[in-house]
Structure 1
């Protein structure tokens, strides 16, 4: 009996600590290990980062029974801010890649820098990002290097979204691309369909097709579409080595998890040694 009483306070402390940790992970912060260099130098391979969920507002699933290949319904509690250009954001990967369809991949996460917000118009001109006619977004040094690059492009990195010969966009010359916001309406035709087909499928779960020069949603001709969600353009800082919105397209708001704010610690991927100079570094 005495032994049980002796351990009871420790057991209570463990249970309380568990629930506090659970609440923090659900509502406040989450943590991710970074395996690639696509966000170098802001985030390095081996970094263990902290993500602020309160910034945008924590996201929750409406049900815990997930169906394979289907995006679960979500809701978000109000945050204290909204995503801004140049914020570094963690989000679910859209799947399948390079398809007219889109669902949320629950097991794969990307971390990228937000370049374009809902309602923006984005272009890449000679390697330089331009948003609503303004520059200064993303990794400016990498953009400068791309604008002056004279060598051969790596296989698979030159041609970009929407992978359509009508546009023939590249990592150096891209857009203009309108980034939809909730409630905004676009005119839709067989030319710009390739830009928005995947987005409309995600919002309606209905495939679009063309016939005799007309766009059809199910059996109805559609000439305009009003978006139901906010969309974002995300890009890696390492422009030559990042699979981002230049290739996977725009990201819907309900895929966003939070803002990356801190490198808790970092381990060298090869030596497994702690990199103390990166420990507790703010992410910018």
Structure 2
């Protein structure tokens, strides 16, 4: 029996059979829509491109990040090319249209962000980028250059919140916490929070000889770029506590000492870039992380810490006239925050651009919670050892 190319529906009208082209088009559209819904509201895959979370997360790890745990964020820039974040892969042009912007809204989540969660978020200082040097931090460059000087060398771009670069760090302090750091150890609400065993610090290693077999050190898991020679027999090595234990067992190691910046030395690159605060990478604070409903007094001590949050993240017009502050045209001596904020730091403490450099992460920048590693590739491994089998389906803690 031959099948007819058309048949009548219940209304008596002929119903043509779909062509192959139409079937493929419908299937592609359905797949794109379904995948977009999944990655926006449920789960999305990310990769680790830098060593800022070594050795908790390695370069080449592929993660699944949950949008459900903290509640999926409704797209703030809804008109965008599917599967492209902010830039088209071939043309280098914008992958979104910012002519339509929606207010920040988030669906209910399973939980709130907790201390030590590993979180994916949009880079807070990513609102302004340099087209020809997108890996550079525009605001860090402003510490030594003017906007006019940068404009003469680069094309300056603005990006909406949800189209800023995705970062992954550990949430050291949540909204309302007090965070400080002394000699490389973080303190949350006055309690020491030692670095995880898989995190990395810098150690000064004194060897018994200048004829050092660095391959033995690399074989322990230390990357070449994490080994720096200071003198004939002294090196600075960035590594984890686990690897350090094995390193100390080598018969040509004389001594090992933790290296940290000295207290009281001012580093202008460290948030809030205030000369009145002699803070550096390993010594800063205390800083209170803003919480929704928390009120701060506006004065010369607090404003270096909270000015950007009030003006940029919460969208107020902020002016200073003499010693007085005006918010949206009205004189103000206090401000009550509208959002929760977080303090994020990398586990590779001396190779991580994190909250120590750019301050708080607002809640509207939060993307999701890192769940587990579904694949991991070692670019330095041999052809047969490219896949790190021991990291597959490994949970992130």
Give the TM bin, normalised by the shorter chain.
Answer: 0.7 to 0.9
Measured in 1, the distance between the counterparts of 2:53 and 2:31 equals 33
CA deviation string 1:58-92 (max 9, x = no partner): 11125524666998522111111111011000001
CA deviation string 1:13-38 (max 9, x = no partner): 87766554333222211111111000
The structure 2 residue matched to 1:131, chosen from 172, 188, 191, is: 188
The answer for unaligned runs of 5 or more in structure 1 is none
1:173 offset after TM fit, Å? Answer: 1.1
Query: TM-score if structure 1 supplies the norm length?
Result: 0.84
Which residue of the partner structure matches residue 104 of structure 2? 74
The structure 2 residue matched to 1:88, chosen from 118, 123, 128, is: 118
The structure 2 residue matched to 1:249, chosen from 359, 364, 372, is: 359
The structure 1 residue matched to 2:60, chosen from 21, 30, 46, is: 46
The structure 1 residue matched to 2:322, chosen from 186, 192, 212, is: 212
The structure 1 residue matched to 2:393, chosen from 268, 277, 280, is: 280
Which structure is higher in RCO with an 8 Å CA cutoff and minimum separation 6? Answer: 1
Measured in 2, the distance between the counterparts of 1:102 and 1:181 equals 25
The structure 1 residue matched to 2:300, chosen from 158, 170, 190, is: 190
Alignment of 1:1-284 (within 5 A): 19-62=33-76, 64-65=78-79, 73-94=103-124, 95=126, 96=128, 97-98=138-139, 104=161, 106-136=163-193, 138-139=195-196, 142=200, 148-149=258-259, 159-270=269-380, 273-284=386-397
Moved more, 36-45 or 72-81: 72-81
Which residue of the partner structure matches residue 150 of structure 2? none
Query: Residue 162 of structure 1: SS of its match in structure 2?
Result: coil
Query: TM-score if structure 2 supplies the norm length?
Result: 0.62
Count of equivalent residues:
280
Task: Call closer, same or farther: CA 1:185–1:78 in 2, change over 3 Å.
Answer: same
Task: Call closer, same or farther: CA 1:204–1:18 in 2, change over 3 Å.
Answer: closer
CA root-mean-square deviation: 3.6
Query: Residue 74 of structure 1: SS of its match in structure 2?
Result: coil
Conserved? CA contact 2:176–2:290, under 8 Å: yes
The answer for unaligned runs of 5 or more in structure 2 is 6-16, 80-95, 129-137, 144-157, 204-237, 239-256
Task: Call closer, same or farther: CA 1:187–1:149 in 2, change over 3 Å.
Answer: same
Task: Call closer, same or farther: CA 1:6–1:220 in 2, change over 3 Å.
Answer: closer
Which is higher, the Rg of structure 1 or of structure 2?
Answer: 2
Task: Call closer, same or farther: CA 1:70–1:172 in 2, change over 3 Å.
Answer: farther
1:177 offset after TM fit, Å? Answer: 0.4
Task: Call closer, same or farther: CA 1:107–1:229 in 2, change over 3 Å.
Answer: closer
1:208 offset after TM fit, Å? Answer: 2.9
1:142 offset after TM fit, Å? Answer: 4.0
Measured in 2, the distance between the counterparts of 1:34 and 1:195 equals 30
Task: Call closer, same or farther: CA 1:2–1:122 in 2, change over 3 Å.
Answer: farther
Measured in 1, the distance between the counterparts of 2:37 and 2:182 equals 45
Task: Call closer, same or farther: CA 1:117–1:208 in 2, change over 3 Å.
Answer: same
1:143 offset after TM fit, Å? Answer: 6.0
Measured in 2, the distance between the counterparts of 1:42 and 1:169 equals 27
Measured in 1, the distance between the counterparts of 2:48 and 2:287 equals 29
Measured in 2, the distance between the counterparts of 1:104 and 1:74 equals 9
